[in-house]
Amino acid sequence: MIPNGYLIFEDENFLDSTVAKMNALRKNGQFCDVRLEVSGRELLAHRAILACCSPYLFEIFNSDVDSRGVCHVTFEDLDPQAVEVLLNYAYTAQLKADKELVKDVYSAAKRLKMERVKQICGEYLLSKMDCQNAISYRNFASCVGDWHLLGEIDGYIQEHLLQISDQEDFLKLPRLKLEVMLEDNQNLPSNGKLYSKVLNWVQRSLWENGGQLEKLMEEVQTLYYSADHRLLDGSPLEGQTNIFGNDDHIQFVQKKPLRENDHRQLNGSSSSNLSPSSTPQSGKPEWKYIASEKTTNNTYLCLAVLNGVLCVIFLHGRNSPQSSPSGTPCLLKSMSFEAQPEELEQKLLLPMHYARSGLGTAELDGKLIAAGGYNREECLRTVECYDPLKNCWMFIAPMRTPRARFQMAVLMGQLYVMGGSNGHSDELSCGETYDPHADEWTQVPELRTNRCNAGVCALNNRLFVVGGSDPSGQKGLKNCDAFDPISKTWTNCVPLNIRRHQAAVCELDNFMYVIGGAESWNCLNTVERYNPENNTWTLIAPMNVARRGAGVAVYQGKLFVVGGFDGSHALRCVEVYDPAKNEWKMLGSMTMARSNAGVVLLGGTICAVGGFDGNDFLNSMETYNPNTNEWSLYIDAFAAQRLSNGKGLKPALKD
């Protein structure tokens, strides 16, 4: 057809033909300008093709000053066959790999930051998992630090522990043998609190005595469980120290002074006694209960992760002297699983459906809203809603425009997003608002300046958009604009003192705070406060760490600044600002580094969701408990914080 005088023709075979020819050129080494050296094997390809599918290679090619010659990239730790599979995928969009090669393809895709391939490989592994390979699959997932894969595998192990315990891989796992002395007529409790106490006992034993986990497993360890549910270190007749208090509060009483570096270890910021190869690559080493079964009367078999090492814990309770436990017990197939799953299982906070960085987040009607963002492949329109009571994510109406590198705020009960990037044009001027009652997004008047990476904040029934970067390449603006939702008009405010983009912005006590960010690409630790009464910006005390792409939440009158990027690395560190003292203080670090993540106060709990850890885009969420100054990936920490807030406990944020 030739409508309006234009010739329009679609060749349905063109793409298939071109793809086949490009792949043939690669295999013949024609016009190739990339040479991949993978464990001694040479693979040729075309730079433009690889740059489109591998963000990792794109960054290498983009930083290559001499782009005219052949680019050399060397990988000593990848399987050449796995990389060949990824090359075929890059040219044909078809992923074909022998089942024995899938793990290597996963590892190569993770290195090249090919998220979709990594996801497909993970789903394939789960579909092929059975009782014989579950242990090896879990070791693989732990090694690559895939928390979603770990959660799925742990759920399978919990349901099939009896069958898995018969497998050779299970019998080869390191074993910790604990003999628990009981008072007369007592039995070991078969609930999650006992296993939680045991894991904490192992941690304290390593920290206090300076030993290694392997040494702890060389002989039977004797504990004592009293009638009032206390777990004691050794026989009470020997006068040993009480390690744990009641069921609700775990307390440790030192038997001798802590070693010099124990304070850092207790905060999770120092390396463990075990070798790094035994711990996951992302986040803290795991300390986790997985599953247990009763084997005989007063004998339990527990599978747990101790400092990143998958171990079998053999718990044996006795009332009178007898032979110590040894070997792996024979499970009684007729025994039922006694413990309640909700007591035993440390459930992970459910991840988002999509990994997202540069997303917009906000709390609305008791739920966490996560909108847009990017995940290497594209900018997203989708919006997810997290319900903390159900620990689940649901989709709500998508935004009208795909966007990332933006912030979101709640104004008069509605969500507002402004600017950002859609992945095609550098910056957007459009904005939209979400009505939760109608479940729909509508446009709002455009910004006067296209920009992304701007801060957004609701203050005095107006929406403020601060800083950002513009299409002219100016990274770091001083602009501050205010939107009136009633008149639907924009007005200019006095500009910032310092140009900045990717700053964290929030409202506290009728002031607006703009925190960190970057002027061009130089990260800032400076902080400015806006007073709407006299339309002025004032510089206040700077942060301890310069950072851009951080998140911020307000809790009990203080600002909590989370993660970000310092110019070299994604950050785990967190700091808090006390406006009464005009000072910043460092807090406990997150379980993993997150830049351009979403940070929200949800039900009295500070949540960090998504972001980028320096290697991977994240869909996980973690929460901060100010009473313990710790972050957790588990739902029980969320529940404990809500319970603490209900009891009126004050957070442990003391000088």
What mean pLDDT is predicted for residues 29-43? 90
CA gap 292, 298 in Å, rounded: 13
pLDDT in the model for residue 652: 39
**pLDDT at position 294 over 80:** no
Under a CB-based contact definition with an 8 Å cutoff, are residues 631 and 609 in contact? Answer: no
The Cα 142–Cα 397 span in angstroms is: 35
Task: Tell me what the pLDDT averaged over the chain comes to.
Answer: 81
Is 434 within the bounds of a domain? yes
Does 496 lie in the same domain as 389? yes
Lowest mean pLDDT among 281-295, 379-393, 518-532: 281-295
CA separation for the pair 521, 537 (Å, rounded): 22
Q: What is the pLDDT of residue 197?
A: 74
Same domain as 465, residue 383: yes
What band does 181 get if pLDDT is binned at 50, 70 and 90?
confident
Q: Burial code of 121-141, b = ≥16 C-beta within 10 A, e = fewer? A: bbebbeeebebebbbebbbbb
The larger pLDDT score, comparing residue 586 to residue 244, is at 586
Supply the CATH number for residue 76's domain: 3.30.710.10
Residue 538: pLDDT band by 50, 70, 90 thresholds? Answer: very high
**Residues 622 and 493 grouped into a single domain:** yes
Higher pLDDT, 479 or 17: 479
Q: How confident is the model at residue 288 (pLDDT cuts 50, 70, 90)?
A: confident
In 372-424 the beta strands, taken as DSSP E runs, fall at 383-387, 392-396, 408-411, 414-418
> Quick check: 257 and 288 in contact, CB under 8 A?
no
8: in domain = no
**Domain co-membership, 374 together with 499:** yes
Q: CA-CA distance, 619 to 20, in Å (whole number)?
A: 35
Q: What's the average model confidence in pLDDT over 144-163?
A: 87
Question: What pLDDT does 67 receive?
Answer: 57
Distance (Å) of CA 523 to CA 479, 501, 526, 552: 18, 10, 9, 16
Tokens of 368: 């966490």
Candidate from 10-14, 263-267, 408-412, 564-568 with smallest mean pLDDT: 263-267
DSSP state of 421: B
Burial readout 464-502 (b: 16 or more C-beta within 10 A, e: otherwise) = bbbbbbbeeeebbbebbbbbebeeeebeebeebebbbbb
The residues, any chain, with a CB within 8 Å of residue 568's CB and separated by 6 or more, are none
pLDDT 10s digits, 592-607: 999 999 999 998 899 9
Same domain, 545 and 602: yes
Which pLDDT score is estimated for 605? Answer: 92
| pLDDT score at 642 | 53
Question: Do 330 and 392 lie in a common domain?
Answer: no
Q: Which of 96-100, 182-186, 220-224 has the lowest mean pLDDT?
A: 182-186
pLDDT digits (tens, 9 = 90+) for 57-97: 988 887 765 556 788 889 988 999 999 999 999 998 899 99
pLDDT at residue 346, as a whole number: 52
Total Cβ atoms within 10 A of residue 531: 13
DSSP conformation class of 280: -
Give yes or no: residues 194 and 240 share one domain.
yes
In a domain, 141, yes or no: no
Based on the domain organization, do 330 and 424 belong to the same domain? Answer: no
Confidence at 240, pLDDT banded by 50, 70, 90: very low
Residue 278 predicted with pLDDT over 70: no
Tokens 């030192």 found at = 254
4, part of any domain: no
User: Do 337 and 366 reside in the same domain of the chain?
Assistant: no
Residue 604 is assigned to a structural domain of this protein: yes
Do 491 and 439 lie in one domain? The reply is: yes
Evaluate whether residue 266 is within a structural domain: no
Instruction: Decide if pLDDT at 340 tops 70.
Output: no
Q: Is residue 211 part of a domain?
A: yes
- Whether 506 is covered by a domain: the verdict is yes
Q: Count helices and strands (H / E) in the chain.
A: 15, 35
| pLDDT digits 0-9 by tens, 503-515 | 999 999 999 999 9
Comparing 32-41, 353-362, 412-421, which segment has the lowest mean pLDDT? 32-41
* CATH number assigned to the domain comprising residue 615: 2.120.10.80
Domain match, 89 and 173 both: no
Q: Are residues 100 and 218 in the same domain?
A: no
Percentages of the chain per state (helix, strand, coil), in multiples of 5: 25, 30, 45
Q: Which two tokens stand for residue 318?
A: 């006795």
Contact 56, 111 (CB under 8 A): yes
Amino acid 26: pLDDT? 86
Q: Which domain holds residue 325?
A: 164-256+278-344
CA dist list (Å): 365 to 27, 352, 387, 605? 56, 19, 10, 15
Sheet with 221-225, side-by-side order of all strands: 231-233, 221-225, 175-182, 309-318, 299-306, 287-296
Q: Which residue has the higher pLDDT, 524 or 33?
A: 524
If you count them, how many residues does the chain have? 655
283/150 Cα distance (integer angstroms)? 13
pLDDT surpasses 70 at 219:
yes
User: How large a percentage of the chain has pLDDT more than 70?
Assistant: 79
DSSP annotation string for 542-564: PPSS--BS-EEEEETTEEEEE--
Lowest mean pLDDT among 61-70, 404-413, 483-492: 61-70
Q: What percent of the chain has pLDDT over 90?
A: 47
> Structurally, how many domains does the chain consist of?
3
